[in-house]
Chains A and B, each alone.
Chain A
């Protein structure tokens, strides 16, 4: 597709369950970011992938959060034993390089609600 695709667009889950969020970046983009945005808040960095380099996981809030990127393309963000404070919009963005003057394109996000 032409843009970054995220699925599902909405997810309601019970507290304690695991969830998987998927991101399909723009073809050829080597840089991939995950952010989350709580209601009325700014974007919080979670994790960054660049090519075959080790990912920057410094933003993951706890060991319940993990992410992988297979084949340098699709990425999955997994949240185990979800808590109510995990409720947020999870945004994935991709770009051509770590340093790019062309910016990064974001998907429309996955709205996660933990009840």
Chain B
């Protein structure tokens, strides 16, 4: 069964460092997302991406964050200068086959980011 894969599974970084989280969405999907979940809290929407551009973003997704789909298969989330409060599990998701509306999203297993 096709799945969304994320790397790394866990990254530890120093405050102020740049981090790139990588995702390989399911190949025929058209919509891509990043969510995050701080330990013990709810899953929060960060950004959605369609047709090679950001469709929507939340208040959390400020200038420190950026997304890219550099090669048609990977979908990356970059945090330019990490802060302690960026420590969280980051989930990538994809969905939306051609011709299907309001279908399900498929989530990856997540990348745990720890900022020291």
The finding on whether chains A and B are genuine partners in a shared complex, rather than unrelated, reads no
A residues at B contact (CB < 8 Å): none
Which residues of B are interface residues toward A (Cβ below 8 A)? none
